[in-house]
Structure 1
Amino acid sequence: MILSKRLRIPFLTITCSGVLLVLGKLIVAPNSNEYTAKPFVLPSEVPLTQWQSLPSQSLFTPIVWQPNLMTSRNYQYQQKDLSLDIEMRYLVPTSGNVKTLLQTYTAIPASTEIRHQEEVGFYYLLVDEQRAYLSSCINPRGKTTVTPQQFTENGNRHDLRLNRLLPWLMGEVQLRDRRCLWTNLSIPVEDTSPSEAYQILEKAWFSWYQSWQPRFPKS
């Protein structure tokens, strides 16, 4: 009881200081939350375990009606007779709604099958017109997500931390980081079943995530 009383004053001091800092920021620089992401160029080549890299190319992106799309690229890989396509789009900001992104940027139907892998996160799987697809959003921090709720909850866990308060006050980062590396992987299914295709996509996806999550674009 005595210890809790001793800790109460320092705790209140820290809390009040934080509130005053936030108020000061809002008074001195009320428009500083108008965040602009730093330019980022997706690399032309990204190694993928057990796959041979082929030349990549930029995706056609009419910027006029896709203002949140910072950059995009199509990566191609080969494993014996099997080809793998990976489309990556860097979106700033986004709600993290992968169904909406599929409808906006592609002709792929929105999937209702969500899979989850503890070390990676959530992702969609679907088959359409003889191709199997895996689609998900790589977040700046934390796990991958496919719905706005997952995206927001992941942000709550990893964005709202004390070590991000000072950079936010300095205008260096956005407190709620709503960026996403939206990724679509696909392979043909003419010579394989959907379940086998899903296993191939998942294995490639786990390697892709492990490669990209630690080198997410700096804010």
Structure 2
Amino acid sequence: MLSIQAMETYAKRNHITGEEAINIFYRYQVFEKIMIQHEYLHQVGFEEVMNYVEQIIQEDLHSLTVFHGTTKRFEQIDLNKSHNRRDFGVGFYTTILENQAREWAYRLSLREKSKGYYVYQYSFEEGDLLNIKRFDGLNKEWLEFIRKNRSIGGLQHNYDVVIGPVADDNTMETVQLYISGILTADEAVGRLRYNNVNNQISFHNKKALESLKLVRRTFYE
């Protein structure tokens, strides 16, 4: 994976431990920003990738661009309109991938037979006071976290923001088998290991929503 290779190279070049490099990459959201630019970065040389990483860290960029797809036009985010029994609990869900947000909105428009759909772009300013939970992959902790939120409903945690993989069509069958008790956690994780998943970032309270600034709203027919 490109982000892991970049992190290991950064640690080696700066004579720091892998753990220290991971903390730096999390602090400056390097993993997320590499994912945003993954199509471009896979087309350039590795040195250009490392230049991009150095620029992120040196410029202390704490903002992250996120997208939300929906069939509804709105001015203010209303958490009371959030759906129940979601992966990370009741909240406002976004992704760092614009195409993914647009695909979600398009599918929703087909189900609702809407004439069009919207993609909202926000700037997420990560502050030190936010309680943020990050899941690095499809592991037991992520699986159990989703089980609680989907089976019990509501909000089964006290995080302001949660960042992690999406339990989409590719993974949902396995997740449901785990929730139903048909698969053990080890069996489910073993099956999920072969899935390619997308990313989601959810915001769960007023403090979290205050970290979002609307950049633009685009309507598609």
| Structure with more helix by fraction | 2
Bin for the TM-score computed over the shorter chain: under 0.3
Bigger radius of gyration: 1
